[in-house]
Amino acid sequence: MNTDDTVTIYDVAREAGVSMATVSRVVNGNKNVKENTRKKSSK
């Protein structure tokens, strides 16, 4: 995680075990993301 406590898309992807593209799709509301993956990225 960054030293300034800002959470980035990279941080979320790393913690969730998914790609940055997947996190981006979830954030932007793309419907082509499986529900279990969406839940991992949203935690």
The reply to whether 40 falls in a domain is no
Contacts with 17 (C-beta within 8 Å, 6 or more apart), sequence order: 40
Does a structural domain hold residue 23? Answer: yes
Going 9 to 38 to 19 to 30, the CA torsion angle's sign is: negative
Q: Tell me, what's the pLDDT at 3?
A: 67
H helix runs in 1-43, sequence order:
9-16, 20-27, 35-42
Sign of CA dihedral 21, 8, 11, 40: negative
Is residue 5, in this structure, part of any structural domain at all? yes
Which residues span the domain enclosing 24? 1-30
Question: In total, how many domains does the chain have?
Answer: 1
State pLDDT tens for residues 2-41: 567 898 999 999 999 999 999 999 989 888 888 888 888 7
Asked whether residue 24 is assigned to any structural domain, the reply reads yes
Please report the pLDDT score of residue 10 as a whole number: 94
Do the domain assignments include residue 39?
no
On whether residue 36 sits in a domain, the answer given is no
